[in-house]
């Protein structure tokens, strides 16, 4: 779980927050509602998650409920992975 969070954090930092201190991006930092991720950035993050973790994210699943915080994204990935195996 921690590895999943860390990979998402690294991806967001390098793609959308270049120059930010990693410690400023916490597990519960709002991503969508704070403007860190706009709609285009969210699409790219979803693409990364699909490819990296081998899951398929339906359009309705890429919602603020699942994709607003690193912690909720990680739980979403875990529940999808559990459902597939």
Partner 1 sequence: MGDLCRYLEASALRFPERVAAVDEDGTELAYEALERRASRIAAFLVEHGVRPGDRVALVLPKCVAGLTAIFGILKAGAAYVPVDWTGPAERVQSILEDCGVRVVFLDRRRTGLHTGAEILILLSANTGSHEGAAAGSFSWEQVLEHAPLEPGAIPRRPDDLAYILYTSGSTGVPKGVMLTHRNATSYVDSCSSVFDPVETDRFSSHAPFYFDLSILDIYVPIKHGASVHLIPDDLGKNPKDLARFIAERRITVWYSTPSILALLAQFGDLGRYDYASLRLVLFAGEVFPVKQLRLLTSLWPAPAYYNLYGPTETNVCTFARIPLPVPEDRTEPYPIGWPCSHCAALVLDPGDPSAAAGVPAGVPSGPEGLLYISGPSVFAGYWGRPQETAAAFMERDGTRWYNTGDVVKRHPDDGFLYVGRRDRMVKRRGYRIELGDIESCLYQHPGIGEAAAIAISNPESGVRITAFLSAVTEEPPSIIEMKRYCHEHLPAYMSPDAFVFLPRLPRTSTAKVDYQVLSRSVSQSEAKAAP
Q: What is the contact surface with partner 1 in residues (CB under 8 A)?
A: 16-21, 24-25, 29, 34-36, 38-40, 43, 47, 58-59, 62
**25/73 with CB nearer partner 1:** 25
Rounded distance between C-alpha atoms, residue 37 and residue 43, angstroms: 9
Q: Which residues, 6+ apart, have CB-to-CB distance to 58 below 8 Å?
A: none
CB of 46 to partner 1, least distance (A): 9
Q: Is 32 helix (H, G, I), strand (E, B) or coil?
A: coil
Rounded distance between C-alpha atoms, residue 9 and residue 3, angstroms: 10
CB of 5 to partner 1, least distance (A): 17
**51/82 with CB nearer partner 1:** 51
């Amino acid at each position: 779980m921690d590895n999943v969070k860390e990979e998402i954090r690294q991806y967001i930092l390098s793609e959308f927050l270049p120059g930010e201190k990693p410690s400023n991006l916490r597990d519960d930092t709002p991503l969508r509602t704070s403007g860190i991720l706009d709609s285009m950035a969210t699409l790219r993050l979803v693409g990364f998650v699909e490819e990296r973790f081998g899951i398929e994210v339906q359009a309705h699943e890429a919602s603020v409920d699942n994709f607003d915080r690193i912690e909720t994204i990680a739980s979403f990935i875990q529940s999808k992975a559990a459902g597939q195996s």
